[in-house]
Amino acid sequence: MSLDVGKSLKLLRRKVYFALFNARGFDLGNTVYFRRLFRLNRKEIEARCRVVEHLPGRRIAILAPHCDDEIIGCGGAILSYLQDQKEVFIIYLTDGQKQGSTADAATVRKERREEGLAVGASLGLPQGHIYFLGGTDGDLLHSHLDAALAQTLREIRPDTLFVPVILDNHPDHYAVSKLLCRVYAGEPAFLRESSVFLYEAQSPLTLFHANICLKINRFYARKTELLSHYKSQPYSFKFIANLNRANGLYLGPDQFCESFLATNMEAYEAFVRRHFADDAVYFRLKDHFKSNRHSGSLICSYNSSRRYKDLLAELPPAPVDGERSERPGVRN
């Protein structure tokens, strides 16, 4: 069997798989489950998690392990910043060669880069605001990008950084935090005052560990449109719609939100150094985190994250100055 035929069969199996597990019955079950979950735990969430419509920061660097993670995890935040006329920079850390429309790695690298550039153009970002550091997809942890990331961040001088939550079941997502914290430890001066926002990617952060809930109703359709640029990816992006909608049920019917854990760079580097100096600690934990892949996996994925991410409670919140908290349950 040729590689192309094998790839075609794999894509067909994926389509059937996602069609089955994204069926409407799972969506209805998720709605009932999360409404009840948030009703029973509202006080616990309210004590920790602020509901906002805008985020602080003027120069924002989005660290994305792969082309699409930036929109999956913080597409609404990016659109909010751009609407507020803030400067946004996207840094893609790997070449993305492991997953695309063909079996040829060089072709996949090219198409994923073109997709990232198309998203940047659609957002109206100058090409100089998009960086491709070329780490190895699937092995970012050993890609030796410290100097490249340090130089990039030195150029940008961000006051706000977005990174995938370190407790995620994709090792490349974990590796972003290790890389960033090594850069900070080596040259802390230009990032010392920066805030860090941990965003949801393959494994939910959950509103039980987040401290910021960003309402994205006004950006949701646009976020979906941006994800459509990633045509090379052989899966449905409905999984992130499911999560944004589930989080939104905390606010009320027909609401959507992205959740973040905001902290400061100094505290985050100390946290990562204290708990993850040995990568084996992460690899022991990661098997507990179930992937959010489709409608049928959302509840299991959310609950595994809720149960095994309590370590994140150690991180002190970053101030969200000037932002007005809103009472959950109030609709736009």
Task: Give the pLDDT confidence of 239-250 residue by residue, as tens digits.
Answer: 999 999 999 999
What pLDDT is stored for residue 232 in this prediction? 83
Is 80 exceeded by the pLDDT of residue 87?
yes
> What is the rounded CA–CA span in Å between residue 64 and residue 119?
13
**pLDDT 10s digits, 89-132:** 999 999 876 566 566 678 878 998 999 999 999 999 998 999 99
Measured at the CA of 158, the angle between CA 121 and CA 156, to 5 degrees, comes to 60
Pick from 258, 254, 264, 263: which is nearest to 207 by CA?
258
Give per-residue pLDDT as tens, 259-285. 999 999 999 999 999 999 999 999 999
Task: Give the pLDDT band (50/70/90) at residue 4.
Answer: low
Q: Tell me the backbone φ, ψ of residue 275, rounded to 5 degrees.
A: -100, -25
The pTM score is 0.91
**Which domains does the chain carry?**
8-314 (3.40.50.10320)
Confidence of residue 1 (pLDDT cuts 50, 70, 90): very low
Predicted local confidence at residue 324, as pLDDT = 41
pLDDT at 106: 83
Mean pLDDT confidence for 182-200: 95
Lowest mean pLDDT among 19-28, 93-102, 218-227, 321-330: 321-330
**For residues 161 and 7, which has the higher predicted lDDT (pLDDT)?**
161
How many percent of the chain have pLDDT more than 70? 87
pLDDT above 90 covers what percent of the chain? 79
Residue 321 has pLDDT above 60, yes or no: no
Which token pair is 208? Answer: 């039980």
Q: Per-residue pLDDT for 26 more than 60?
A: yes
**pLDDT at 170 > cutoff 80:** yes
Structural tokens at position 242: 């499911």
Give the pLDDT score at 331: 37
The answer to whether 123 touches 82, Cβ cutoff 8 Å, is yes
User: Mean pLDDT across the chain, nearest whole number?
Assistant: 90
- Tens-digit pLDDT profile for residues 5-16: 565 666 656 665
What confidence tier does 236 reach under pLDDT thresholds 50, 70, 90? Answer: confident
* Whole-number pLDDT of residue 3: 53
- pLDDT range class, residue 332, cuts 50, 70, 90: very low
Using only the alpha carbons of the chain, give its radius of gyration: 19
What average pLDDT does this structure show over 287-296? 93
pLDDT tops 70 at residue 18: no
Q: What is the mean pLDDT of residues 71-81?
A: 98
**Residue range 307-319: average pLDDT?**
93
The average pLDDT across 299-306 equals 97
Distance from chain centroid for Cα 43: 26
